[in-house]
Structure 1
Amino acid sequence: MQLGYWETGKNHPKPVTVGLLCSFYKSTPDELGFASTAAVKTLVPSGAAGIQAGSTPGESFGQRLDTARRETDRTLASASVTPAQLDLLDERVGWARHQYLYTPPAPILETLLSLLADIDDLAGDRQPAAVQVRLSELTAILATLIADALMKLGDLTRSQAWYGTARAAADDSGNVELRARVRAQAAMLPFYYGPLEVAVTLTREARMITRGRPSATTAFAAAAEARALAKLGDRYDAQRALRLAADLFEQIGPSGDADDAFSFPERRFLLYRSGALTAIGDTAQARRVQAQALELYPTRTGIDPALLQLEAAICSALDRLPTDACDLAGSAILTILPAYQTPILRARAHEVIRALPPPTRSSRPARELREILALPPGTM
């Protein structure tokens, strides 16, 4: 009876019913006279609904599965980055990592931003997972260097934002060592500008990510933690972190290229150790470490030697030698190239004055140091 109503056109079956009739009679809706019926719901096995993209009319479900698989394979294999392009990017970023140590922060920013723009152009297209991971790694490295340069220039808000970008890119890459390294490096911003508690948190997070496995990054994180704890006045934990850093550094031995901004060579380890020892007031040992570190730095290196000289000046201030302290600090500022006379260096020089015994902070050597620090870079 119901078929009669459908055949006379008095009623129309539901799309699902049309599908069942087509399956039963092995016919199309047109052949059964249901051409005007709304779109027919295709019946497919449970769980396979939605596999329609790229299908051709008349294809069986199995054929649609094969078509979908082939299209997926083509998508996975497609890439706008060739192996040669990726190798070239690696070389360019590697070159920038070396140049970073010997180029003032302002001009190196132009180089880093240009490189990052090239990577962003490629990362905007769909890439195979392995290529995308490598692009994320390169992005994390460049963003970290940009953040560090901005910190040295005193642009703290942008530096913090770029460190956030670096962490996001490192996390996206899944590279454990890089994720930890970016966090340890990001701790430099709160170390110099506060809050110090954030610096401690970041360094500990870095060590947690590596699960304490001996590596250059783990040693770096422990040394940075020691320096921050010492500046907080936590002598006991600072010494504990220093011992851990020394043990880790001894286990890994010399590794990486000392002229790579992302390596942690002996001279940088000694720089961090000097900072911790100076902050806890162990001036005798700090002086020995400073002298040892300065011997390892080439003359063309950026601000690290000046930072070591300023820490030596702080040691003199703590030892109640105000004239020596101010002379050392003034010399460190006056002898460095103007392009390196950044806010971070001047901030460290002001710490020399604060470390002086209170009665000597208004002495002639202290006044002369203040006058030097008040001069614009390049006029000294």
Structure 2
Amino acid sequence: MDLRQVYIFAPPAEMLLRLLGTLEEVRLLSGERQPAAVQVRLSEMIAVLATLVADALMKLGRLDQARMWYGTARAAADDAGGIELRSRIRVQAAMLPYYYGPLERAASLAKDARLLNRGRATSTGAFAAAAEARALARLGDVEGARTAVRQAIELFDHAPAGPADDAWAFPRRRLLLYLSGAFTALGEVREALRVQQEALALYPDRTGIDPALLRLEEAMCLVHQRNPSEACELASSAYLAVPEELRTEILGVRTKEVIRIMPARVRETRAARQLGELLALPTGRM
């Protein structure tokens, strides 16, 4: 099976070894004298593999290394020269500051990707607009976020359909994940819950990282609806439902966000304290 298909389901730590091994093979080939067309193809492969390495490191919370690998991916994409790839690398890199900060950097990278795409109806264009939407929503730019949401939906609806089982694709379930982030941050609970349920239906076993992120955003919606106890219960369930090898730092960050958006007095309730205590436990002692 192709690495990009395996990546969707395999634990990030496991994928790192496989990706780095393949990347070394490609790097050795690129160091040899090659025809120009072959060299471009090798640069494209390095850009994709380096991005997946960075993504795995990001999920594991190894942020400095992730930033370095995103830089490697960007340099390789710029060397290859294709607009589609250059745009995709930038929007992929926006995930790191979206989850770990600063949010302004996430919005900037997504905007750069969107501008590179030049309004073309591609999955990358939809990806860039959706990434910009959820970053702007968390920054409080309501109108900017709503405009980006509309653009993401329009571009996605007019883009050629891509594969659903490829880590480099942007299928409907990922669009819905990004829209969930935007609607949740905007406090548009009805729309957020709608896209969350539609997205979860596209994950048959509902046990991976993305389904957990969707359920955590559902918990945030419960906070907006002033149901903090239910929110904490759902967040705990979503976090613990993920297999331990997939229960990485990125889930901890989003689970803490459920507590962070609560009013100060609510963060002192028993339910919120118990959720915080759960997150403080070392892996393997849940």
- Shorter-chain TM band: over 0.9
Q: Could you tell me which of 254, 257, 267 is aligned with 1:361?
A: 267
**Pairing 1:180–2:180 present:** no
> RMSD value over aligned CA atoms?
1.1
2:200/2:206 contact within 8 Å kept: no
Match of 2:96 in 1: 189
**Pairing 1:205–2:109 present:** no
Counterpart CA distance in 1 for 2:244 and 2:279 is 12
The residue matched to 1:131 in structure 2 has which SS? helix
The residue matched to 2:74 in structure 1 has which SS? helix
Q: Quote the offset at 1:371 in angstroms.
A: 1.6
Q: Quote the offset at 1:327 in angstroms.
A: 0.3
Counterpart CA distance in 1 for 2:232 and 2:261 is 11
Match of 2:151 in 1: 244
Counterpart CA distance in 1 for 2:82 and 2:207 is 29
Deviations 1:255-306 (A, max 9, x none): 1111101100000000000000000100111011101100001327630000
Counterpart CA distance in 1 for 2:216 and 2:36 is 47
Unaligned runs of 5+ in 1: 1-91
Q: Quote the offset at 1:189 in angstroms.
A: 0.7
Match of 1:32 in 2: none
Which runs of 4 or more aligned residues in structure 1 lie more than 6 Å from their structure 2 counterparts after TM superposition? none
Within a 5 Å distance, the mapping from 1:324-335 to structure 2 comes to 324-335=230-241
Q: Which has the higher contact order (CA 8 A, sep 6+)?
A: 2
Match of 2:280 in 1: 374
Match of 2:142 in 1: 235
Counterpart CA distance in 2 for 1:327 and 1:310 is 10
Counterpart CA distance in 2 for 1:151 and 1:176 is 24
2:87/2:114 contact within 8 Å kept: yes
Match of 1:274 in 2: 180
TM-score after normalising by structure 2: 0.98
Match of 2:68 in 1: 161
Q: Could you tell me which of 192, 195, 208 is aligned with 1:302?
A: 208
Counterpart AA for 1:130: A
Counterpart CA distance in 2 for 1:237 and 1:286 is 17
Counterpart CA distance in 2 for 1:251 and 1:181 is 18
Q: Taking structure 1 as reference, are residues 234 and 294 closer, same or farther at Cα in structure 2, changes over 3 Å only? A: same
Counterpart CA distance in 2 for 1:374 and 1:196 is 24
Counterpart AA for 2:281: L
Within a 5 Å distance, the mapping from 1:302-321 to structure 2 comes to 302-321=208-227
Unaligned runs of 5+ in 2: none
**Pairing 1:219–2:126 present:** yes
Counterpart CA distance in 2 for 1:198 and 1:374 is 28
Structure number with larger C-alpha Rg: 1
The residue matched to 1:358 in structure 2 has which SS? coil
Within a 5 Å distance, the mapping from 1:46-85 to structure 2 comes to none
2:207/2:243 contact within 8 Å kept: no
Counterpart CA distance in 2 for 1:298 and 1:192 is 25
Q: Could you tell me which of 54, 57, 60 is aligned with 1:147?
A: 54
2:177/2:196 contact within 8 Å kept: yes
1:320/1:357 contact within 8 Å kept: no
1:306/1:333 contact within 8 Å kept: yes
Match of 2:163 in 1: 257
Q: Quote the offset at 1:124 in angstroms.
A: 0.6
1:303/1:345 contact within 8 Å kept: yes
Which structure has greater helix proportion?
2
Q: Quote the offset at 1:187 in angstroms.
A: 0.5
Counterpart CA distance in 2 for 1:127 and 1:298 is 44
Q: Quote the offset at 1:355 in angstroms.
A: 1.7
Q: What is the number of residues matched between the two proteins?
A: 286
Deviations 1:12-64 (A, max 9, x none): xxxxxxxxxxxxxxxxxxxxxxxxxxxxxxxxxxxxxxxxxxxxxxxxxxxxx
Deviations 1:170-213 (A, max 9, x none): 11111211110000000001111111111111111112212111
TM-score after normalising by structure 1: 0.74
Deviations 1:317-340 (A, max 9, x none): 111101110000000111111111
Match of 1:23 in 2: none
